[in-house]
Amino acid sequence: MTQAPAKRTFFALGRVENYTDAVFAIAATLLVLDLTTTAFGKISSDAELWHQLGAMWPSFMAFGVSSVLLGGLWVSHISQFRDIARADIVLLWLNNARLLFIVLIPFTTSLVSEYSDYYAGRVLLPVNFFFAMALGIATWFWAASKDGHLLKDEAKPDAPSQTVGSVTALIAGGVTVALSPWLGSWAFLTFAVSGPISGVLQKRRKATPSA
């Protein structure tokens, strides 16, 4: 007697998106706390205030870099879930693992501004972003696996191109981590070239005739 296949359980995608958006919003809000906790002491002139603000440039730079990259991770999340039709338990836990590193971003950002003279202060923020991005890519890979078993039907033909872009971004993230001990937050400029490279690779892939 043939045994019927086990019924798979799926979850409401809207709740996953709402929870994820809330975590991103909290992380983005907490980024500014490192700036607001700075104490200037007694200020007696405009010149002194401008001098104190100028001395905060590492904190402003870390805030700016983290805000841009956190925004990029959120845009990536939006793009992924635009093409995902349903969520299973594996996708839920991959997404939860990504959010673990998202909520750590305010902490590792504060290390950059306070301890940039030390190796750990320079490298932990890039490592944090790398794992957040890698887990986001793993979420997409899982959704697109098994012939796109979690994707919308109309998104399946473009899934390979998005996978190429994800791999390119992951490589850029690895290069950023490798360069960060010497360049600090400037190493994140490597992400500027990942987009054009991804575009070239996708065009070459489309131009290559199928076997």
Q: What is the mean pLDDT of residues 87-97?
A: 95
Q: Is the residue at 3 inside a domain?
A: no
Do 99 and 161 form a contact (C-beta atoms < 8 A)? no
Identify which has the larger pLDDT, 99 or 155.
99
Nearest-angstrom CA–CA distance, 17 and 78: 8
Residue 96's pLDDT band, with cuts at 50, 70 and 90, is very high
Residue pair 11/87 in contact by the 8 Å Cβ criterion: yes
Total number of domains in the chain: 1
Query: Is residue 4 predicted with pLDDT exceeding 60?
Result: no
Q: Using one digit for the tens of pLDDT, what is the confidence trace for 25-84? A: 999 998 888 777 666 667 778 887 888 778 777 778 888 888 888 998 998 899 889 999
pLDDT of residue 196: 61
Q: Is residue 175 part of a domain?
A: yes
- pLDDT, residue 95, reads 95
Q: HSE on the CB side for 62, CA within 13 Å? A: 30
**pLDDT for residue 209 is more than 70:** no
pLDDT per position as a tens digit, 156-190: 888 877 777 788 888 888 888 888 888 777 777 77
Distance CA 122, CA 134 (A): 19
Closest CA to 187 of 200, 172, 201: 172
In-domain check, residue 8 = no
| DSSP 3-state of 121 | helix
* Residue 88 counted as domain residue: yes
167: Cα within 13 Å, side-chain hemisphere: 10
Cα distance from N-terminal residue to C-terminal residue, the chain: 41
Classified as helix, coil or strand, 149 is coil
- Whole-number pLDDT of residue 1: 47
Tell whether 190 is covered by a domain: yes
Around Cβ 5, how many Cβ atoms within 10 Å? 6
Q: Is residue 1 part of a domain?
A: no
Q: Is the pLDDT of residue 102 over 60?
A: yes
Q: Are residues 169 and 194 in contact, defined by beta-carbon separation less than 8 angstroms?
A: yes
Note whether residue 7 is domain-resident. Answer: no
Q: What is the pLDDT of residue 191?
A: 72
In this structure, is residue 173 part of a structural domain? Answer: yes
Domain with 17 in it: 13-207
